[in-house]
Amino acid sequence: MEDSDKSTLTRRGFLGGTGLAGTAVVLGGMAPAAVAQPAAAASASAQPPSAAQLARDTEVVEPPAVSGITRRPGSDLMVELLRDLGVEFVVANPSSSFEGLHESIINHPAQPNRNPELITALHEGSAVDMAHGYGKATGKPMVVMLHATVGLQNAAMAIYQAFVDKTPIVLLIGSDDGFIQAHIADDLAALVRPYTKWDAAPRTLPEALDAIQEAWIQAVTPPCAPTLVVVDSHLQKASAEGVALPSLRQPQFPLISTADAELIASRLLGASNPRLDVGRLRTPAGVERAVRLAELTGACVGTRANQGPMSFPQSHPLCGPGASTDYDFVLGLELPSPHFSISGPELGSLTGRDEAGVGFSIVRGRPAAPGAAERRSADAEASLALILEAVLAAGSDAARTSSIRQRSEAHGTRNREARLTTLRAQVQRRLRGWDASPVSTARLYAELWPFIADEDWCIGSQTNFSGGHHADLWAHDKPYSCLGSSGAAGIGYSLGASVGAALAARDHGRLVVDFQGDGDFNFMPGALWTAAHHRLPLLIVMHNNRAWHQELMFVQYLTGARGRGTDRAHIGTTLRDPFVNYRAIAEGYGVEGIGPVADPAELAAAYRRGIEVVKSGRPFLVDVLTQPR
Amino acid sequence: MQIMTHLLPPAGFPPARRSLAATLGLALLSVWLPAHPLLAQTAGASLYLEHGCYGCHGHQGKGTHVEQANNLFPKPPVLLAGRTPFLVSEDVFRAYLRLRAEQQPQQPSVMMPHYSAEVLDDAEVSVLYAHIMDFPVDEPALEETVLGWLLEHAQAR
């Protein structure tokens, strides 16, 4: 890394002098840690912002002086790099520290505001949630631009959730040492380092470009997680003349050995009743590989597609318990197995980044359960390519081909029977309280299914608080059918994540459903505006039980255990007096809505209208008064 | 949907209790509804709401569909007249509410909150019981609901 003498050079002096003086070197091997910020920022005691400083962010003032407007600023190169990396969207709430990047995204002459397109968020946490939902729907990182200190802190909880949920996101933190002192810090990344995978604070434009690419690579490499680059405002605005884009590098995924691949192929082909147990892979390509492997080997398959993204399609004939549950070889793909499992490196491999010693339990993880199973710490999706090669290389004879075909047919018949038997039992269960008002949570889900069963759909929200009835009643056949939980059970996730999923869906004729808890909604309702502004195909179904019901039940539990009465358990746990008018809120943000719907007989008509609007490319909100759970 | 049917207790109440309950019901309605109008349109509904019965048993006693909630406590029963044992009569219902609170005060329940007479007096128990007894019991046939369509759709795929 290029060295600088911070004791004698200010940042401006450094950048204006040696830092950008014709440097066209792509720096490799940059340390994955923040580089120290100017000493002046650290030594000065904290002072409240001056009037001039505040004016920059709060009033109509002249833009900051730029010494020499450049026709090809550094931020143009950063945007070109994002485009080359396949980044479709950059989401941000505008800031005084990344206007250079902002301007390049929307005005870069080659393709203004397309690939990437700037998405406007009304809160930094919401912005990260959008990237979280998009990342799970596609397996690709969305870029989030965040303002230094305050913006990053607003986003912190959402970053933590995405980290626990192992979702790739690239965070670009704007930093500007010339304005508000409270927005300057020596090591910005330290605010979130224990729950990000990688960070850097580059000091030159070539370093910045290299860091952005490395952040992208690290984000998509297991364990997938948010990564962070501090992008100094001056790097964004300085001339890029003489600086070239770095060569693109491919991520290197941890793989099983060739010998392991051959062993697995041999055992799958040699077993009389092999099985795949498929967890969450990284991308749709991984799902395709799993389907191919199942079909080549006649293995029946277990799936998690009704719980989260990137798993095996539920309606595939091989998906289910199979003709017999006496499996003689089970291959676990991102899941444990009694025989052989492949599971990517866990978050626990990143505990070294917890310099502050926070000690997040979820990151530390639990020791692997003892057992005789072979387990490889490798990326299952990438390793599947090797296994497929080995299966194909093993060839086949007529007897094996016939055996696999017969096994597959038997699985198909039995799996279909099993699905229908399970479904018959599940629909019977949901009859309970069918005509009740408020609407039962089962009916909340069941009434929507006829409108989307034959569409391309995605559930962008978590669904556990509203019963998750889709898991038993719907068929989850796409890698993005169900994006699953928030990661860390933090509140405020679902709307933003669903907006992100709708961004992934917008240009593909897909519609997204958000089963939206009312408590969760009220954290960051501004994401509605993003959905309206960007014309997103999003149906928001309010699970409006007028409470934080989990907590209400906890308090009621204690009233029972302490024997002191129940009539005050609603204090602090319910949303009454006044009720929240979600339809009015939606309309205020430019989203059409219906409700509150308390009569279950009116729900289908509300959904019909909602789906019509969503299919026309606009969001819609149906506020439904529901049973508590 | 529940409407104003619980202002009077059901037939079969002892006359004195009917009178007391009716008076109390009207009083409760006038006092509580403006403050807590969460779908509670009767005095019984208000009691059912304010004492949190709906939290585990649902607004019409149909329970919850969420296994996670069921696991918080022993699974809360649905409240169905003629089927739920402790609803066989108002006396049994009252005894069920009182039993642990008054007979076993040193052993508080973690299954269901205690309802001593200080928490829910006899007149209120009468109103609450009447409200619960009026919950609909029957469910529609599967074929009459979208659940029937859902099953047919799956079978046709």
DSSP state of A574: B
Q: In whole angstroms, what is the distance from residue A298 CA to residue A232 CA?
A: 54
How far away is chain B from the Cα of A553, in angstroms, using its nearest Cα?
7
Per-residue pLDDT of chain B (157 residues; tens, 9 = 90+): 333 232 223 333 333 333 444 444 444 443 433 333 455 679 999 999 888 888 888 888 887 665 444 444 445 667 777 777 888 999 999 988 887 766 666 676 667 777 888 889 999 999 999 999 998 888 899 999 999 999 999 999 8
- Work out the pLDDT band at A32, boundaries 50, 70, 90: very low
Q: Is residue A572 part of a domain?
A: yes
Q: Which among A446, A561, A627 has the least Cβ separation from residue B110?
A: A561
- A119 or A62, higher pLDDT: A119
How far away is chain A from the Cα of B7, in angstroms, using its nearest Cα?
20
Range A38-43 average pLDDT: 37
pLDDT at A34: 37
Contact present, A289 and A275 (Cβ < 8 Å): no
**Residues A381 and A497 grouped into a single domain:** no
Q: Which residue of B has its CA nearest to A554?
A: B72
**Residues A455 and A589 grouped into a single domain:** yes
Q: Is residue A398 part of a domain?
A: yes
pLDDT at A61 over 90: no
CB contacts under 8 A, B 86-125 vs A, are 101, 105, 108-116, 118-119
User: Which residues in chain B have their CB less than 8 angstroms from residue A475's CB?
Assistant: 154, 157
Q: Which residue of A has its CA nearest to B56?
A: A553
**What are the helix and strand counts (H, E) for chain B?**
7, 0
Mean pLDDT lowest among A127-136, A426-435, A597-606 = A426-435
Range A558-571 average pLDDT: 83
**Residues A198 and A104 grouped into a single domain:** yes
Reading the block at residue A51, the tokens are: 């009037």
Q: Is residue A5 part of a domain?
A: no
Q: Is residue A153 part of a domain?
A: yes
CA A252 to chain centre: 21
pLDDT at A546 over 90: yes
Range A529-549 average pLDDT: 97
| Site from B3, B48, B146, B152 to mutate, A interface, most A CB atoms within 10 angstroms | B146
* Average pLDDT score, chain A: 89
pLDDT at A39: 36
CB contact under 8 A, A423 and B62: no
**Residues A537 and A556 grouped into a single domain:** yes
- Work out the pLDDT band at A560, boundaries 50, 70, 90: confident
Q: Is B145 on the interface with A (CB under 8 A)?
A: yes
pLDDT at A302: 98
pLDDT at A509: 96
Range A598-622 average pLDDT: 97
pLDDT at A25 over 60: no
Query: Could you tell me which residues come within 8 angstroms of residue A72 by beta carbon, excluding any fewer than 6 positions away?
Result: A239, A240, A241
CB contact under 8 A, A576 and B140: no
Q: Is residue A59 part of a domain?
A: no
Reading the block at residue A16, the tokens are: 């204006």
Range A482-498 average pLDDT: 96
Range A390-405 average pLDDT: 93
Q: Is B146 on the interface with A (CB under 8 A)?
A: yes
Mean pLDDT lowest among A27-36, A152-161, B80-89, B137-146 = A27-36
**Residues A438 and A417 grouped into a single domain:** no
User: Which residues in chain B have their CB less than 8 angstroms from residue A560's CB?
Assistant: 108-114
Q: Which among B36, B37, B151 has the least Cβ separation from residue A423?
A: B151
Range A80-96 average pLDDT: 96
CA A162 to chain centre: 6
Range A218-240 average pLDDT: 96
pLDDT at A64: 59
- A46 or A628, higher pLDDT: A628
Q: Which one of A399, A422, A445 terminates a domain?
A: A422
Alpha-carbon distances, residue A103 vs A21, A75, A79, A113, A176 (angstroms):
24, 8, 10, 9, 16
* Dihedral sign for Cα atoms in the order A255, A256, A259, A260: negative
Q: Which among A446, A561, A567 has the least Cβ separation from residue B150?
A: A446
Contact present, A135 and A163 (Cβ < 8 Å): no
CB contact under 8 A, A437 and B59: yes
pLDDT at A624: 97
* Burial label, B112 (beta-carbon count in 10 A; 0-12, 13-18, 19+): buried
Q: Which among A442, A557, A560 has the least Cβ separation from residue B114?
A: A560
CATH of the domain at A24: 3.40.50.970
Interface predicted TM-score of the whole assembly (ipTM), two decimals: 0.84
**Residues A519 and A581 grouped into a single domain:** yes
Q: Which residue of A has its CA nearest to B51?
A: A567
CB contact under 8 A, A446 and B36: no
Q: Is residue A519 part of a domain?
A: yes
Mean pLDDT lowest among A19-28, A422-431, B22-31 = A19-28
Q: Which of A65, A86, A83 is nearest to A75 (CA)?
A: A83
First vs last Cα of chain A: how many Å apart? 57
pLDDT at A166: 97
User: Which residues in chain A have their CB less than 8 angstroms from residue B54's CB?
Assistant: 627-628
**Residues A162 and A228 grouped into a single domain:** yes
Percentage with pLDDT > 90 across chain A: 76
Render pLDDT for A100-113 as a digit per residue (tens, 0 to 9): 999 999 999 788 99
User: Which residues in chain A have their CB less than 8 angstroms from residue B58's CB?
Assistant: 433, 436, 440, 627-628
Q: Which one of A422, A449, A465 terminates a domain?
A: A422
Give the count of domains, chain A.
3
pLDDT at B99: 79
pLDDT at A199 over 60: yes
pLDDT at B36: 38
CB contact under 8 A, B150 and A427: yes
- Work out the pLDDT band at A60, boundaries 50, 70, 90: low
Q: Which among B37, B54, B73 has the least Cβ separation from residue A628?
A: B54
pLDDT at A202 over 60: yes
**Residues A444 and A382 grouped into a single domain:** no
Q: Is residue A50 part of a domain?
A: no
**Residues A451 and A543 grouped into a single domain:** yes
- Work out the pLDDT band at A557, boundaries 50, 70, 90: confident
- Work out the pLDDT band at A4, boundaries 50, 70, 90: very low
User: Which residues in chain B have their CB less than 8 angstroms from residue A412's CB?
Assistant: none
Residue B89 CB coordination number (10 Å): 12
Contact present, A298 and A411 (Cβ < 8 Å): yes
CB contact under 8 A, B66 and A430: no
**Residues A189 and A85 grouped into a single domain:** yes
CB contact under 8 A, A440 and B153: no
Q: Which residue of A has its CA nearest to B111?
A: A560
**Residues A404 and A478 grouped into a single domain:** no
pLDDT at A127: 98
Q: Which residue of A has its CA nearest to B64?
A: A629
- Work out the pLDDT band at A55, boundaries 50, 70, 90: low
Domain of A528 in residue numbering reads as 433-625
Query: Could you tell me which residues come within 8 angstroms of residue A173 by beta carbon, excluding any fewer than 6 positions away?
Result: A97, A145, A146, A147, A148, A151, A152, A188, A189, A228, A229, A230, A231
How far away is chain B from the Cα of A95, in angstroms, using its nearest Cα?
42
**Residues A418 and A443 grouped into a single domain:** no
- Work out the pLDDT band at A52, boundaries 50, 70, 90: low
Q: In whole angstroms, what is the distance from residue A401 CA to residue A391 CA?
A: 13
CB contacts under 8 A, B 37-76 vs A, are 37-39, 50-52, 54-56, 58-60, 62-66, 68-69, 72-73
Instruction: Output phi, psi for A171, to 5 deg.
Output: -100, 125
Q: Which residue of A has its CA nearest to B102?
A: A563
CATH of the domain at A409: 3.40.50
Q: Is residue A613 part of a domain?
A: yes
Q: Which among A423, A565, A629 has the least Cβ separation from residue B119?
A: A565
Range A94-123 average pLDDT: 94
Q: Where are the alpha helices (DSSP H) in chain B?
A: 15-32, 43-50, 53-57, 67-72, 90-98, 122-133, 146-156
